[in-house]
């Protein structure tokens, strides 16, 4: 009886260890970014910045996306975090996302930063797959009437 119990515990520990090792080694990205650019690259404060994305998705994973704009004076504007469950097709995809530039943003060279956190296995809740994408653009002074 004791031998069967010990064998069962050893098998269970072995399977759990193998699964944990797989999760630790799972550092391949869920997506690769092929393109991220502002179209057009000039926008006024309070206007809409359109960012075109092209990417290849390898697997479906829940993700959090933190969005930030740094204006012409490098002032940081946090635009919030978007959470997405499993979505989209595996393979190549593209879309254009409109982003509201804050009214108080200063003119000059700016950047839109996206910090992507993918959670493809339970260990990624502690140590997510992380990717940062910076999209340069220019905030221009509002047109005078």
Q: How confident is the model at residue 18 (pLDDT cuts 50, 70, 90)?
A: confident
Mean pLDDT of 98-105: 96
Asked whether residue 60 carries a pLDDT value surpassing 80, the answer given is yes
pLDDT of residue 25: 81
Looking at residue 38, what is its pLDDT?
97
Residue of higher predicted confidence among 113 and 11 = 113
Average pLDDT for 107-128: 95
Structure tokens at 8: 């069962």
Strand partners, 138: 42, 109
Closest CA to 131 of 20, 25, 36: 36
pLDDT at residue 11, as a whole number:
78
Confidence of residue 110 (pLDDT cuts 50, 70, 90): very high
Q: What pLDDT is stored for residue 142 in this prediction?
A: 82
Mean pLDDT of 102-127: 95
pLDDT beyond 80 at 59: yes
Mean pLDDT of the chain: 91
């Amino acid at each position: 009886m004791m031998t069967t119990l010990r064998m069962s515990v050893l098998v269970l520990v072995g399977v759990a260890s193998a699964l944990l090792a797989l999760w630790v080694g799972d550092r391949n990205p869920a997506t690769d970014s092929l393109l991220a650019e502002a179209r057009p690259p000039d926008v006024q404060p309070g206007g809409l910045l359109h960012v075109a994305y092209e990417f290849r998705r390898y697997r479906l994973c829940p993700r959090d996306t933190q969005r930030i704009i740094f204006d012409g004076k490098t002032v940081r504007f946090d635009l919030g975090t978007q959470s997405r469950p499993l979505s989209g097709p595996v393979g190549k995809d593209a879309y254009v996302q409109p982003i509201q530039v804050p009214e108080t943003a200063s003119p000059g060279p700016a950047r839109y930063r996206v910090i992507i956190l993918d959670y493809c296995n339970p260990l990624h809740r502690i140590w997510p797959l992380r990717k940062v994408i910076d999209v340069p653009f220019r905030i221009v002074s509002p047109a005078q009437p």
